[in-house]
Amino acid sequence: MRIYADNASTTKMSRAAIDAMLPYLAEQFGNPSSPYALGQAAKNALETAREDIAAVLGAAPREIYFTSGGTEADNQALRSAAAQGKRAGKTHIVSTAFEHHAVLRTLEALRSEGFAVTLLPVDETGLVEPEALASAIREDTCLVSVMAANNEIGTLQPVDELADICRRRGVVFHTDAVQAVGHVELDMRALGADMLSASAHKFHGPKGAGFLYVRKGRMPESLLLGGAQERGRRAGTENVAGAVAMAAALRECAEHREADSRRLTALRDRLTEGLSSIPHGILNGDAQRRLPGNVNFSFEGVEGEALLLLLDEKGISASAGSACAAGSLQPSHVLLALGRAPELARGALRLTLGEDATAQEIDYMIRAVRDAVETLRAHSPAWQERMSGRAAFLL
């Protein structure tokens, strides 16, 4: 059995997205900036994609700016609000310690450029307390950035409440919704965020395509110098095929979201229940307030990377945390932010289900993880010490 359980890392492109993009890689290859018919056909396709994406999100087409993905959208959102804040004499930014590195690294850079950054604490399940945000906002705060859904533990933040606090205090609110778009209901009319980042490859679109939503009345600032594409806000010839495929993928996700979400939630809960029977393991994140397909456990006495290799041998593609951290044996910064001990933050297993997951696959994964954990513990001197009573268990 081969099971792909790493959908938070990337998803398989949908047939609809592939079919939608092929003509724009083949005969419809024009440059949207060209005035003749071939160019204008590409331009029309790009604008239709923008309209379709806006319609799914309850936004206006002019509020959607195409980017190369989530990383660029996050960078552009933060850099734009920071530059605009600085011009108004405001140089304080609020975010959280468990954001994606696309946000955290940009914040580090802004800090070195003179901005003050407050990282809000999160509770044990990864939730930001709205009160903590309210008290962190200062007179000179120009931006708050809190992710909609965490990429490691799937925690869904109360973004509408957080956005509301920011609106009342006159502070720009950005949310990295890369893991949420296509998977949970997001309506910009209700959400109240000023900016939102998304990435196509997380919802069955192609890699290298994404967008930044920017509410009417605000303008993103260009990160790149060059042509006047995207109304002068994002230089560079547009990825027409990518945008068209992204729109097709998002439309399809929106059509099936409710049914997919119900089914995935039931499978996720079955997986959580099965893995909970493994002793000295713990679910990371809130049991219910998380993405429909996300399960994340830490197992005491187990190295995440070793667990992944054993699972791969059993046909399961999984992750030890975020893909960007893979290969480095660093403990997950997300799990450390929740207060997990470094050993547990290194022994995490993230299983993220795709819409085609089945109950049989879930049961197979439960057995495979249980066997792999037992095997690794049998070879772990630290685990043997705990079993013999010479050292204390963490959990």
Active site residues per annotation: 324
294 binds ligand PLP per the rule CB under 6 A: no
Read off the amino acid at residue 72.
E
Which residues make Cβ contacts (< 8 Å) with residue 301, sequence separation at least 6? 280, 347, 376, 377, 380, 382, 383, 386
| Token pair listed for 210 | 């994404």
Binds ligand PLP by CB under 6 A, chosen from 210, 304, 321, 347? 210
Select 91 or 352, whichever has its Cβ closest to ligand PLP. Answer: 352
Shortest distance (Å) from residue 274 CB to ligand PLP: 25
Which residues make Cβ contacts (< 8 Å) with residue 191, sequence separation at least 6? 159, 160, 163, 175
Site of tokens 């994002």? 234
Cα 60 to Cα 53, 112, 254, 382, distances in angstroms:
9, 35, 17, 57
Nearest-5° Cα angle at 66, 247 to 114: 140
176 binds ligand PLP per the rule CB under 6 A: yes
238 binds ligand PLP per the rule CB under 6 A: no
CB 156 within 8 A of CB 27: no
Report the distance separating Cα 393 and Cα 377, nearest Å. 13
In the β-sheet with 281-283, what is the strand arrangement from edge to edge? 281-283, 294-299, 348-352
Report the distance separating Cα 195 and Cα 8, nearest Å. 22
User: Residue with CB nearest ligand PLP?
Assistant: 70
Residues 75-104 that bind ligand PLP (CB under 6 A): 100, 102
Select 174 or 340, whichever has its Cβ closest to ligand PLP. Answer: 174
Binds ligand PLP by CB under 6 A, chosen from 76, 91, 95, 179? 179
Select 69 or 126, whichever has its Cβ closest to ligand PLP. Answer: 69
Shortest distance (Å) from residue 126 CB to ligand PLP: 13
| Token pair listed for 216 | 């009417």
Site string for ligand PLP, 119-148 (x = CB under 6 A): ----------------------------x-
Select 196 or 362, whichever has its Cβ closest to ligand PLP. Answer: 196
Residues 326-365 that bind ligand PLP (CB under 6 A): none
71 binds ligand PLP per the rule CB under 6 A: yes
Binds ligand PLP by CB under 6 A, chosen from 80, 91, 151, 294? 151
Shortest distance (Å) from residue 92 CB to ligand PLP: 23
Task: Give the interface size with ligand PLP as a residue count (CB under 6 A).
Answer: 13
Report the distance separating Cα 345 and Cα 302, nearest Å. 10
Read off the amino acid at residue 336.
L
- Which residues of this protein are in contact with ligand PLP, per CB under 6 A? 69-71, 74, 100, 102, 147, 151, 176, 178-179, 199, 210
